[in-house]
Amino acid sequence: MHLSKILTGLAILGTIIIGISLYASSVFSRDAQILENRIIEIEESVDKKDWASAEKNLMAVREEWDKTEKMWAVLIEHAEIDNIDTSLTRVSEYIKSRDVSMTMAEIAVLRNSIRNIPENQSFSLKNIL
C-alpha cells in the first residue's frame, strides 16, 4: 500500500516534469522561429542595401527579443542571452556604418545563436545524458 503511493507520486511528478519540458521546448521553437523570420527581413534589407528598412526591421527584432528574453531568461543560461544581446548590438552598429559584409556575418551569428537555443533546450535523450 505504502509503496504504491510512492510509485503513484513519482509517476505524477515525472509526468509533470515531462509536460513542462515539452511545453518549454515548444515555446523555444515558436519564439526562435518568430525571431528568425524577423532576422531574415533584416538580411534581405541589407542585401538590397535598403538601410532604412534594415534599421526598421532591426527595431522590430529588438521589440520581439525584449518580450522573448523575459521568458527565456527564466529557462536558460544567461550567457546564451548575453550572446544574443551582444550580437544584436553588433548588427545595429554594422547597420549604422552601412557595412554589408560585417552586418551579414553578424546576422549569421545571431541566427545561429537563436537556432541553437531550442535544439539545446529540447527534451531529448541527447540533452539528458
H, E, C per residue of the chain: CHHHHHHHHHHHHHHHHHHHHHHHHHHHHHHHHHHHHHHHHHHHHHHCCCHHHHHHHHHHHHHHHHHHHHHHHHHCCHHHHHHHHHHHHHHHHHHHCCCHHHHHHHHHHHHHHHHHHHHHHCCCHHHHC
Q: Which range in 4-8, 72-76, 111-115 is most confidently predicted, on average pLDDT?
A: 111-115
User: What pLDDT sits at residue 73?
Assistant: 87
- Given CATH 1.20.120.290, say whether it is the number of domain 2-128: yes
User: What pLDDT sits at residue 125?
Assistant: 47
Q: Is the pLDDT of residue 123 over 80?
A: no
Q: 115 or 123, which is more confident?
A: 115
Model-level pTM?
0.81
Percentage of residues in the chain having pLDDT higher than 90:
64
So where are the chain's domains?
A: 2-128
pLDDT digits 0-9 by tens, 10-61: 999 999 988 888 888 888 899 999 999 999 999 999 999 999 999 999 999 9
